[in-house]
Structure 1
Amino acid sequence: MTSAVRIGEAEVGAGHPVYTVAEIGINHNGDVEIAKQLIEIAARVGADAVKFQKRTPDIATPPDMRDTLRDTPWGRMTYLDYRYRVEFGAAEYEEIGRYCKELGVAWFASPWDVPSVEFLERFDVVTHKVASASLTDLDLLKALRDTGKPIIASTGMSTMDEIDSAVAVLGTERLVLLHATSTYPCPPEEANLRMIGTLAERFGVPVGYSGHERGLQVSVAAVALGACMVERHVTLDRTMWGSDQAASLEPEGLRRLVRDIRTVEVALGDGVKRVFPGEEAPRRRLRRV
């Protein structure tokens, strides 16, 4: 049995409600009003938290990509300029923090570099998230570990040796691992949900699921297989411009996901065989011996 990790007001782990995370990521396209609409949707459907991504573009943008030209809604620009265009600063995150507090939903982010960890710490976020792409950035992992905050780490695009190395740096005391496959969108045959049990057995920490598939079935199945956290991207409209929009859930999809997760939680029961009240009448009517 893995121990629980406290994230804000919630206990995350076996025996506790599944922690649901609506990842806004960069689906706000640099517009804080879109971000607030997505926060409101997440709060309305009962998600526990929203998540963003925080970068220092000069550090987090690969050098060979910086001058690559990209067509955007704001015109043709270099990839580095685009990264600055969609990045939120202190004023936007202050507004996000106020709005999340008003609506009673937690927020945190995936920092992609050490200065971004320091930036997020100014807002006293409830946890930090390691993106799959950052799992091998040991300097970043050390900076996250040293905050003393609980850490959620996604394991997409990683070998088991790479996961072992990351866990060795992060430690297991305040760690939640998320099984993930970093294909956007992820086909069912690449979901490999049995990794949830593999990670839990190997590391003895709570394990959740970060999904990038279309639809809800795979994420709901992850809960049946023991996922203690489910993270999915959310968008106002999957046809909006942006690299993550197509693999995201629209508002109705997010509502149905949270609803279905809560149904599965109840349906799992406690594993103790009993005759339920609803079975008594059929039992009397149908049993001959």
Structure 2
Amino acid sequence: MIDSPNARAVQVIAEAGVNHNGQADLAFELVSVAAQAGADAVKFQTFKAESLATQDAPKAAYQERTTGTTESQFAMLKRLELSPALHRELKAAAERQGIEFLSSAFDSESLRFLVDELGLKRLKVPSGELTNAPFLLEHARTGAALIVSTGMATLAEVETALGVIAFGRIAESTEKPSVAAFHAAYAAPEGQAALRAGLTLLHCTSDYPAAPSAVNLRAMDTLHTAFDLPVGYSDHTLGTGMSVAAVARGACVIEKHFTLDRTMAGPDHAASLEPEALATMIQDIRAVSVALGDGIKRPQPAEWAVAQVARKSLVARTDIPAGTILTADRIAIMRPGSGVSPLRYWDVLGQSARRDYRAGELLDE
């Protein structure tokens, strides 16, 4: 289980993604739902279809299930683009409602827009870009904090990606990128320090929806042990249980898709939470986060009063005159627990009663 102070404060990213269906009114409503549910951030996706997919790129199987096969992936993406002006308005709306605006960029132009024009200080790297070394390098060189999703990846691929990011953080702009340079940057103390200064990994299963049998939450432990970085979970399962379980296991970030209506047309609605479920999940996450505590086994303040009632004490089984030897047949162990602890039972045996006791009276030896 992850053992890190970072596992104790959980950030919830409500992933609007493309569940706005390309419509401004739906996008603004998603921002409001995320804020009302208690999310820390609402996240969209920023892309230019022409830079993201070829005209002939196939849809993923889950996209075919949810949107059919007559429309190409390119056409679907084009329909789901958000304009720069709408990005600005959505960011302003999120900030007015007290939550962070985030987005994942899927091409270089979109990345520069998010950083240079919107001024985002934190970026989410989607799982599909983990092996896109040039794009990772661009992310690293922005200087923004990074949340890196690791769906579809092996541990070795994650390490290579971290090497690219470390190189982008510490190398001179004139230094030529290479696999060897990435490995060297990852191994360097300053590279490790740069990663720890602003990077969170998200465990993820890139299937929509992901089956519980494919979740493998223990991989969060593996990521944390291997890289000594904060680890969270990007949840693509149905329902809220896996996100709450991930928090109990130590996730410091939870990312979860949500929608206004799971029956709406679009690639991600069916695997998303509706508003009430999103709010319930966040409430449960906050409760579990508090319930994790500090790990020290000790009585909680609320337990002291219960202990006085639920625990037991040494009690006079019968009337006991002063001076009588206290024997097993004269001592009972009964509630309440406000008297002499039963741990002292053997110490009291054989002593003389210092005063008269009535049957049922707590001993004070």
User: Normalized against structure 1, the TM-score is what?
Assistant: 0.90
The alpha-carbon deviation at position 77 of structure 1 amounts to 4.7
Q: Specify which structure has the higher proportion of strand.
A: 1
Instruction: Mark the CA change 1:229 to 1:40 in structure 2 (over 3 Å): closer, same or farther.
Output: same
Aligned residue number for residue 110 of structure 1: 104
Q: 2:78 aligns with which of 75, 80, 84?
A: 84
Is 2:297 the counterpart of 1:273?
A: yes
Matched AA of 1:202 = A
The alpha-carbon deviation at position 64 of structure 1 amounts to 2.9
* Deviations, residues 84-118 of structure 1 (Å, cap 9, x unaligned): 22101111111112211211111111111111111
Aligned residue number for residue 226 of structure 1: 250
Where does 1:147-158 land on structure 2 (aligned, <5 Å)? 147-158=142-153
Residues paired across the two proteins, number:
278
Aligned residue number for residue 235 of structure 1: 259
In structure 1, distance between residues paired with 2:16 and 2:267: 12
Bigger relative CO (Cα 8 Å, ≥ 6 apart):
1
The alpha-carbon deviation at position 55 of structure 1 amounts to 1.3
Matched AA of 1:214 = L
Which contiguous aligned blocks of 4+ residues in structure 1 show a shift greater than 2 angstroms? Answer: 1-4, 70-73, 76-82, 276-288
In structure 1, distance between residues paired with 2:52 and 2:30: 25
Larger radius of gyration: 2
SS in 1 for 2:101: strand
In structure 2, distance between residues paired with 1:72 and 1:281: 56
In structure 1, distance between residues paired with 2:203 and 2:271: 17
Matched AA of 2:152 = M
The alpha-carbon deviation at position 123 of structure 1 amounts to 0.2
- What stretches of structure 1 of length at least 5 have no aligned partner? 5-12
* Deviations, residues 202-255 of structure 1 (Å, cap 9, x unaligned): 111111000000111111010011100000001001111111111111000110
Matched AA of 2:156 = D
SS in 2 for 1:271: coil
- What stretches of structure 2 of length at least 5 have no aligned partner? 167-194, 314-341, 343-365
Q: 2:223 aligns with which of 189, 199, 215?
A: 199
Aligned residue number for residue 202 of structure 2: 178
In structure 2, distance between residues paired with 1:216 and 1:65: 32
Aligned residue number for residue 163 of structure 1: 158
* Deviations, residues 1-28 of structure 1 (Å, cap 9, x unaligned): 9888xxxxxxxx344x211100000000
Asked if the contact 2:56/2:74 (under 8 Å) is kept, the reply is: no
SS in 1 for 2:16: strand
In structure 2, distance between residues paired with 1:252 and 1:32: 22
* Deviations, residues 153-191 of structure 1 (Å, cap 9, x unaligned): 100011112111111111313111000001111111111
Aligned residue number for residue 312 of structure 2: 287
SS in 2 for 1:82: helix
Q: Percent identity?
A: 42
Aligned residue number for residue 36 of structure 1: 28
SS in 2 for 1:183: coil
